[in-house]
Amino acid sequence: MTGSRWTAADVSPQHGRVAVITGANSGIGFQTAIVLAGRGAKVVMAVRNLDKGRAAREQILATVPAAKVSLQQLDLASLESIRAAAEALRSEYPRIDLLINNGGVAWTSKQTTRDGFELQFGTNHLGHFALTGLLLDTLLPVPGSRIVTVSSLAHGTLADIDFDDLQSARRYSRIPAYARSKLANLLFTYELQRRLGQAAAGTIAVAAHPGVSYTELGRNLPSILQPATRFIGPLILQSAAMGALTLLRAATDPDVRGGQYYGPDGTGERRGYPVVVQSSTRSHDLDLQRRLWSVSEELTEVRFPI
């Protein structure tokens, strides 16, 4: 580590480890994949669009010719696709070291998943909840295995869980809906870590956020804002490679502890190098964590083996 600044150079050798990364074909997921592949991990890029996934895989191989990178089709907005992907992954990789729940959508117009869930909550939270539950028994036997779930600075603003209108059937606003899904990511991580600890499991659950990074998530902003975002974004936002450092540290630093939350060290956690940060008071509400877990099990029909 250079001084107090943790960088990609600090990622330890990952030879023999299997890392499954959702949404790995672009943005911080892609940057995470290329670093882990360069350190010797077997990287599984779990992506919705296989054509984009193949193009991303070729980019990694052009940079790291010896990389071990494979693709798995996964649509986080479909429980059927999640179950099929989990079955394929369990068959191919009976032992998984890292599950990085990165993929997602942001600021979409009002839409639903194939199962009728509000799209952002259904994709960002319920999709990853189901995938994690279906893959957990491939992680539990592996010493040092980790589940890293990506949240956002947005989780602390306009964020609440309205169990009386969980799918935003009565009222929908794209920014609060995104914030709610990111709060759910943290509630899930903390409750998962509590359950892993009670089970005396060697697997840990950790969360991370990439600050304000320039990625493709902005494609769903209102059209009037997109030209300005494309022009100004690269000038004021940190790169996807910098944003990915928080995921990489959460996934690989031997000093990481279960239940920690990593974000950038700069002003307002908007940019910088990865450090342990604090999430909102709301995210630490034990009753909220447990209730969301119970509701998520009911909606996805996925039960965790802990």
Question: Annotated catalytic sites, by residue?
Answer: 178
Looking only at the bridges linking them, the beta strands covering 18-22 and 42-47 are parallel
Taking the CA of residue 36 as centre, how many other CA atoms within 13 Å lie in the half-sphere pointing to its CB?
A: 35
Burial class of residue 292, CB neighbours in 10 A (0-12, 13-18, 19+)? buried
Residues in the chain: 306
Residues 6+ apart with CB under 8 A from 42: 17, 18, 19, 68, 69, 70, 93
DSSP 168-236: -SS---HHHHHHHHHHHHHHHHHHHHHHHHHTT-S-EEEEE---SB-SGGGGGS-TTTHHHHHHHHHHH
